[in-house]
Every structure is written in structure tokens, then in C-alpha cells.
């Protein structure tokens, strides 16, 4: 029988009241125990045992910060050796960011981590919460995918490829640039060829030495992520240099990276003052990522003169990475204390399946 650790962090799935707010872990645990097929810590008919734990303070995911990402990773690392798989229950608004962040934090992952939540609370008579929770338990126990994943509406996505695409529908998430890893219908279908390979035994977190090294690294990260900022700036018609300067120079703690949501295939204004402000930021050690604000597709930074201008200012192509993955990856690399030049190298390297480098013409 597989044993799954469920970490409740808050979010709509465990919310109640008017306006909705996350209930306590004890209340949520009692509610789950009343659900058909999930009583007594068992998934009926599936040979899956689960326990529900919670973060110290359940949150609406709009209140999540990089410090919370590290705290979630620390809590999972603390019980990693005791369970076969893991489910993180999380609010949908920033679920894509947390899924991306955890994928980078868990180097050497050799078990399945599934993040899920819901659009309607489990406490409602009509909801999508029960299907997402029970499905996530099955995915964590049975897919054998050694990745941080995101499960929603019967589909399992790579966590750092998933984005929220609908604020109201139960099909709230999709993976525009990478296929689903698994699907749950009358049978479980796993696309094994799409999953990342398990790490070598010596590098896997099931190795006590490697797990201890991760715990020590996460402890360092818990302090490091509070010492810098990585904003996201969406480009828009008429954006000017003062906007860039206000974000780069006026944000505290100081900015060390900036995710640009550019037009189309990574294009931006050719305004010399605007590009000059970006160039000065780059010269000051700010790593500039050229992402597209379009849902699907890839950045081709040299395809147009307007994209080439961003490149000359120091921006590097995000290729087909989601903005969520770019942000989380920048924070992960900066928290290691890497120099800007090394961060740029790593940002255009495939660390956890987050980027398709050959997608650029």
C-alpha cells in the first residue's frame, strides 16, 4: 500500500465563510474524512493510505511569497524519507509560481510531488475539489513520475509548464507549450516518454546524504530570498524609461532580476530612452529575461528589430518558459549567490524540463 503525505497550505479547496477564507488544518482534515471514498486515511479501492498535515498558517495563495515556497519545500523535505509520494493543496491564483519554484528547489527528486487545489471549496455541495484531491492522490501514488507536477481537471502537467488559464471554469490550468504527462479517466494513462528520467542513485533525494544537503541548502535559501527582489514588468504601448527606472531603482529589497513580458515573439519598443534604462539595469547586474506575454509559443529575440533592441540592451531569451517559471528560476539561482553572468548561463539551460531550447528558429 502506497503512503502519501498531503500538505494543506490553504486556498479555495479549504475555504469557507463569506467572504471565503482558508479554514484551519484540523477543520480541513475533519472535512476530508467526511468525503466519500476518503474516510479513515484511505483512498477506497486504490490501496493508498494518506495523512493530512498543514503549514503553520494556511493562506490564500495571493499572499504567498518566495519565503513560503521555501517553507513548503522544507516541510516536504522533513518527511521525504517517510512517504512514497506527496500532494500539496494550494490556492489556484499563484499555484503555477509555487509549482515552478518547487521544481527548481527539489534537485534530485525521485518521487512524485503533485500540487492541486480547486475552483470551488470542498465544503460546497457542488465542487471540483473532491475530484482534484482524490485524483492527485492517485497520481502521487501511481504515476512514478519523479517530478513536481500540477494536477487539475483530470490532467497532470509538469509543474513548471503549467499556467492558470481561466478564473472561473473548472478547467483552470493548461500547459500551452508542453503536453500533459498523464490523464485520469476510467483508466490512468501515463505518458512515460515525456517524463524526466529519475536521477542517479547517488544524486537522488532518497539518499540520506543528498537529502541532508537539500535541507541545509533550503535553510540558507530561507534567508537569501528576503535579500533581493525579482519583479515582473509587462510591456504596453507607451511604456517609457521612467517606468523601468522606478521598478529597478525604487524596489526594495534591491532588484537582481527582471522578467519582461514582451510583445509577440519577444519584441519591445525601440525607444532609445527605454532601451537605455534597460541597458543601465543590465550593466548594474540586473538579469533581464525576455518572456512573451502571449500564452503559447516561443521567444525569437532576433527575429525582429524590436526584439533585437531588447537583446542589445542585455535581455536574454526565455524561449518558451512561462513567466512563472522564469521568475521562480531567477529567484532560485540568485538565492544560490551566483553572479549575474552565471545566472544568465543557467537561465538558458534546461534544469527541470522548463524550457525547450530547440524551439527557437
Asked if 140 and 114 touch (Cβ cutoff 8 Å), the reply is yes
Q: How far apart are CA 48 and CA 50, in angstroms?
A: 7
Nearest-5° Cα angle at 302, 297 to 308 = 115
CB distance 6 to 50 below 8 Å? yes
Rounded Cα distance, 321 and 73, in Å: 22
Among candidate residues 9, 12, 112, 292, the one labeled active-site is: 12
In terms of C-beta density within 10 A (0-12 exposed, 13-18 middle, 19 or more buried), how is residue 339 classed? exposed
How many Å from the N-terminal Cα to the C-terminal Cα in the chain? 48
Is 186 annotated in the active site?
no
Query: What phi, psi does 10 have (nearest 5°)?
Result: 115, -150
Q: Show Cβ contacts of residue 82 under 8 Å, excluding neighbours closer than 6 positions.
A: 3, 5
Which sequence positions are flagged as catalytic?
Answer: 12
Amino acid at each position: 500500500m502506497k503512503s502519501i503525505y498531503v500538505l494543506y497550505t490553504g486556498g479555495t479547496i479549504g475555504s469557507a465563510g463569506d467572504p471565503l477564507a482558508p479554514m484551519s488544518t484540523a477543520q480541513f482534515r475533519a472535512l476530508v474524512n467526511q468525503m466519500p471514498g476518503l474516510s479513515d486515511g484511505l483512498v477506497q479501492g486504490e490501496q493508498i493510505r494518506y495523512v493530512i498535515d498543514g503549514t503553520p498558517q494556511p493562506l490564500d495563495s495571493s499572499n504567498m511569497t518566495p519565503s513560503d515556497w521555501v517553507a513548503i519545500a522544507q516541510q516536504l523535505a522533513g518527511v521525504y524519507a517517510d512517504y512514497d509520494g506527496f500532494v500539496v493543496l494550494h490556492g489556484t491564483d499563484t499555484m503555477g509560481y509555487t509549482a515552478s519554484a518547487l521544481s527548481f528547489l527539489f534537485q534530485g527528486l525521485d518521487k512524485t510531488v503533485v500540487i492541486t487545489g480547486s475552483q470551488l471549496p470542498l465544503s460546497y455541495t457542488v465542487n471540483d475539489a473532491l475530484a482534484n484531491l482524490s485524483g492527485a492522490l492517485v497520481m502521487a501514488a501511481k504515476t512514478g513520475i519523479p517530478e513536481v507536477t500540477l494536477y487539475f481537471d483530470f490532467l497532470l502537467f509538469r509543474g513548471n509548464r503549467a499556467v492558470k488559464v481561466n478564473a472561473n471554469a473548472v478547467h483552470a490550468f493548461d500547459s500551452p507549450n508542453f503536453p500533459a504527462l498523464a490523464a485520469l479517466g476510467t483508466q490512468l494513462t501515463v505518458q512515460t516518454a515525456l517524463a524526466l528520467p529519475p536521477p542517479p542513485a547517488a544524486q537522488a533525494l532518497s539518499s540520506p546524504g543528498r537529502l541532508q544537503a537539500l535541507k541545509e541548502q533550503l535553510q540558507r535559501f530561507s534567508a537569501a530570498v528576503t535579500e533581493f527582489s525579482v519583479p515582473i514588468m509587462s510591456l504596453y504601448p507607451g511604456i517609457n524609461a521612467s517606468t523601468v527606472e522606478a521598478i529597478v531603482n525604487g524596489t526594495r529589497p534591491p532588484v537582481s532580476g527582471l522578467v519582461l513580458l514582451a510583445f509577440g515573439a519577444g519584441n519591445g519598443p525601440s525607444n532609445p530612452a527605454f532601451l537605455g534604462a534597460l541597458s543601465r539595469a543590465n550593466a548594474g547586474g540586473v538579469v533581464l529575461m525576455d518572456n512573451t506575454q502571449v500564452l503559447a509559443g516561443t521567444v525569437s529575440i532576433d527575429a525582429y528589430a524590436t526584439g533585437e533592441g531588447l537583446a542589445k540592451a542585455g535581455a536574454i531569451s526565455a524561449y518558451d518558459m512561462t513567466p512563472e517559471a522564469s521568475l521562480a528560476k531567477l529567484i532560485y539561482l540568485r538565492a544560490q549567490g551566483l553572479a549575474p553572468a552565471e545566472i544568465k548561463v543557467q537561465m538558458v539551460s534546461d534544469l527541470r524540463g522548463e524550457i525547450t531550447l530547440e524551439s527557437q528558429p
